[in-house]
């Protein structure tokens, strides 16, 4: 548990009802997991569909690029989550997502495959808004004792979806084509909207009693300023951003490790990804308990240290050791993700929840994109080993910094 100043304290004693037992908790979690299933299935299917229609790998990849570009609007869209009625924003956004993806039903061939791009941009925009709004909604539906459990379950579900999404998306596309996948995704958004409409909890007026100064720039950067002015939160977010840069470096490095180190066929990369995803699911199951037992800073530091050890194991040219390294690295990811998400929600006032979540997303996504770009550019010249050493040092240093800063904190 964390005070408003960011100091970690032990949770209050006494029995409590299970955090997921409430009606609103069940509705909210059902809405999130249902939407995740639809999102994960559509993501890969769109790239496959564009490639099938056009025969162009670059045009297929552009569908994902437009999604990521839409996601960069997070600092702008997150203002809506803070300034408007939160539940209404989430309901309308989910329904707008359903209508948006239905535009894809008009795509009939290569001549109008371009329709996928604005749809995916809108998808990215709404994803950023829902990410900020859902973070704020978690703070409304769950109390401080329940935040880690909710974040842990959602992290586990997300990694689980990432694990099975390629099979679901590609498999459904192969069996029934793209349009049933589109309809299923639209239906998942409608179900999420209905579940949200049944939630009884209401966020108090987030702007009531605040002294936030007027001005577009101040409103836009308020979430970032809050993170930087809250020491415990700032340390976790910056440490995670450092490690996520390493995660970006790892993505192109995995291919070189597979071909040059393990000397396996390209398809074997799928085994590495699967092990990493399975590790993330297992790690997510224990992340909430770790936060409740050790606190957010120590949990994040432990996750980062485990990621460093996992990366070091990948550098050992023995298949069982490398596979263990990928599983350990995957298990480490949810620990610092859940820790930073819980710390953010606990230390952020209601009128900044959306913008702080958007700022945190930008602070961690941007280094990952940069890491992918840099890793892709240099791995051919350096080989995989120097990059693995760099990734291990980044994660290990970030973890050690968190442990040291926790000891120095008052």
Distance from C-alpha of 189 to C-alpha of 339, rounded to nearest angstrom: 28
Q: Return the pLDDT at 14.
A: 40
Burial grade of 380 (CB within 10 A; 0-12, 13-18, 19 or more): exposed
Q: What is the pLDDT of residue 204?
A: 64
Would 204 be classed as within a structural domain? no
End-of-domain residue from the set 140, 168, 197? 197
Query: Cα–Cα distances in Å, from 309 out to 22, 276, 331, 336?
Result: 39, 14, 11, 15
Phi, psi dihedral angles at 2 (to 5 degrees): -130, 140
Paired with 2 in beta bridges are: 8
- Do 167 and 113 fall within a single domain? yes
Q: Which of 133, 165, 197 is the last residue of a domain?
A: 197
- Yes or no: say if 116 and 46 are a contact pair by the CB < 8 Å rule: yes
- Cβ-in-10-Å burial (0-12, 13-18, 19+) of 47 comes to buried
Q: Same domain, yes or no, for 128 and 232?
A: no
Q: Is 380 in the same domain as 264? A: yes
User: Which portions of the chain are predicted below pLDDT 70?
Assistant: 1-21, 38, 40-41, 43-44, 57-58, 61, 165-170, 203-215, 407-410
Tokens (6 digits) for 95? 């329904």
3-state SS class at 263:
coil
Is residue 179 located within the same domain as residue 323? no
Do the Cβ atoms of 129 and 224 come closer than 8 Å?
no
Domain CATH code at residue 168: 1.20.1250.20
Please, are residues 101 and 189 in contact by the beta-carbon 8 Å criterion? yes
One domain, residues 336 and 264:
yes
How far apart are alpha carbons 389 and 404 in whole angstroms?
22
For residue 288, being part of any structural domain is answered with yes
- Tell me the Cα Rg of the chain: 21
DSSP code of residue 84: S
Domain count along the chain: 2
Q: Tell which of 143, 163, 197 closes a domain.
A: 197
Model pLDDT, residue 308: 97
Does a structural domain hold residue 11?
Answer: no
* Domain assignment of residue 38, given as a range: 23-197
Query: Does the residue 136 lie in any domain?
Result: yes
Q: Is 400 inside any structural domain? A: yes
Long-range contacts of 59-63 (CB under 8 A, 24+ apart): 59/113, 62/117, 63/116, 63/117, 63/120
283 and 321 in a single domain? The answer is: yes
Q: Domain check: are 230 and 169 in the same one?
A: no
Residues across the chain: 410
CA distance 295 to 316: 33
| Whole-number pLDDT of residue 391 | 96
Q: Are 185 and 36 in contact (CB under 8 A)?
A: no
Q: Which residues contact 306 (CB under 8 A, 6 or more apart)?
A: 328, 329, 331, 332, 335
Say if residue 186 is in the same domain as residue 221: no
Distances, alpha carbon 67 to alpha carbons 26, 46, 122, 180, in Å: 29, 11, 7, 20
Please check whether residues 184 and 285 belong to one and the same domain.
no
Listed in sequence order, the residues at least 6 apart from 229 whose beta carbon sits closer than 8 Å to its beta carbon are none
Query: Within this chain, do residues 270 and 349 fall inside the same structural domain, yes or no?
Result: yes
* Non-local CB neighbours of 137 within 8 Å, separated by 6+ positions: 28, 86, 87, 90, 203
18: in domain: no
* 12 assigned to some structural domain: no
Q: How distant is the alpha carbon of residue 63 from its chain centre?
A: 19
Closest CA to 151 of 35, 239, 245, 20: 20
One domain, residues 188 and 271: no
What is d(CA 198, CA 220) in angstroms, rounded to the nearest whole number?
A: 31
Is position 138 within any domain? yes
Three state DSSP letters for 112-144: HHHHHHHHHHHHHHHHHHHHHHHHHHHHHHCCH
pLDDT in tens, 6-26: 444 444 434 334 555 578 888
The single-letter DSSP state of residue 185 is H
| Bridge partners, residue 8, by sequence | 2
The answer on 313 and 167 residing in a single domain is: no
User: What pLDDT is recorded for position 283?
Assistant: 94
């Amino acid at each position: 548990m964390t005070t408003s100043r960011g100091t970690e304290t032990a949770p209050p004693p006494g029995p409590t009802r299970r955090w997921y037992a409430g009606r609103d908790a069940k509705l909210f979690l059902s809405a999130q997991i249902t939407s995740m299933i639809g999102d994960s299935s559509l993501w890969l299917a769109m790239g496959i569909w564009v490639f099938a229609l056009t025969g162009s790998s670059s045009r297929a990849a552009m569908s994902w690029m437009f999604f990521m570009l839409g996601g960069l609007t997070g600092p702008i869209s997150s203002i809506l989550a803070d300034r408007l009625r939160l539940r209404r924003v989430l309901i309308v956004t989910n329904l707008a997502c359903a209508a948006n993806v239905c535009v894809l039903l008009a795509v009939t061939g290569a001549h109008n495959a371009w329709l996928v791009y604005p749809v995916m941009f809108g998808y990215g925009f709404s994803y950023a808004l829902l990410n900020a709004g859902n973070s704020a909604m978690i703070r409304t539906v769950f109390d401080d004792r329940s935040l880690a459990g909710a974040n842990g379950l959602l992290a586990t579900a997300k990694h689980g979806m990432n694990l099975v999404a390629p099979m679901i998306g590609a498999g459904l596309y192969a069996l029934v084509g793209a349009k049933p996948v589109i309809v299923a995704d639209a239906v998942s958004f409608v179900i999420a909207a209905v579940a949200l409409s049944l939630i009884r909890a209401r966020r108090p007026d987030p702007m009531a009693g605040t002294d936030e100064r007027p001005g577009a720039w101040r409103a836009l950067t308020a979430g970032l300023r809050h993170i930087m002015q809250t020491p415990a939160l700032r340390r976790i977010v910056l440490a995670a951003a450092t490690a996520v840069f390493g995660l970006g470096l790892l993505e192109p490095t995995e291919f070189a490790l597979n071909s040059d180190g393990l000397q396996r066929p390209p398809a074997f990369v799928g085994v590495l990804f699967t092990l990493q995803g399975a590790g993330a699911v297992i790690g997510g199951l224990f992340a909430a308990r770790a936060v409740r037992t050790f606190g957010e800073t120590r949990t994040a530091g432990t996750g980062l240290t485990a990621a460093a050890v996992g990366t070091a194991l990948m550098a050992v040219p023995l298949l069982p050791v490398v596979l263990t390294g990928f599983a350990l690295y995957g298990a480490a990811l949810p620990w610092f993700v859940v820790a930073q998400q819980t710390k953010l929600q606990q230390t952020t006032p209601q009128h900044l929840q959306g913008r702080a979540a958007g700022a945190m997303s930008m602070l961690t996504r941007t280094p990952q994109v940069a890491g992918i770009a840099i890793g892709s550019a240099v791995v051919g010249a350096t080989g995989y080993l120097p990059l693995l050493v760099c990734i291990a040092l980044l994660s290990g240093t970030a973890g050690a910094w968190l442990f040291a800063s926790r000891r120095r904190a008052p």
